[in-house]
């Protein structure tokens, strides 16, 4: 994971340089935002240098897929948090073979 130059020569910053505090279900976590232009994810780490070894990278997600008539579909990744207190859900919604929405939901278990 590293920053890269976009098609128009602009710098695309994938990981913010400073971790920030993210509150999930009343608990505060240090997290690094991972940007993907039209959406974002957080890796709960207090250091950019620790991202490759973050225990959050070890979570196994299950896959749920919904194929419709070809005009729209979604793919959803679901897993329990490390402490098993909430569910992580990431949904990719496709419309005519183009991603139109990405989201990360943190739901209590």
Q: List the domains of the chain with CATH numbers.
A: 1-56 (no CATH), 59-109 (2.20.25)
CA angle, 106 then 77 then 38, to 5°: 75
Residues 6+ apart with CB under 8 A from 7: none
- For 9-36, what is each residue's pLDDT tens digit? 887 766 666 777 877 778 787 777 665 5
pLDDT, averaged across the chain:
72
């Amino acid at each position: 994971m590293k920053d890269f130059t976009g098609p128009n020569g602009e710098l695309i910053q994938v990981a913010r340089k400073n971790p920030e505090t993210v509150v999930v279900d009343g608990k505060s976590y240090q997290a690094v935002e991972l940007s993907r232009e039209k959406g974002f994810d957080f890796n709960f780490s207090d250091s950019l240098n620790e991202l490759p070894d973050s225990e959050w990278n070890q979570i196994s997600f299950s896959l749920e897929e919904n194929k419709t008539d070809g005009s729209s579909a979604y793919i959803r990744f679901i897993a329990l948090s490390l402490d098993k207190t909430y569910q992580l859900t990431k949904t990719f919604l496709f419309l005519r073979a183009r991603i139109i929405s990405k989201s990360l939901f943190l739901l209590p278990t």
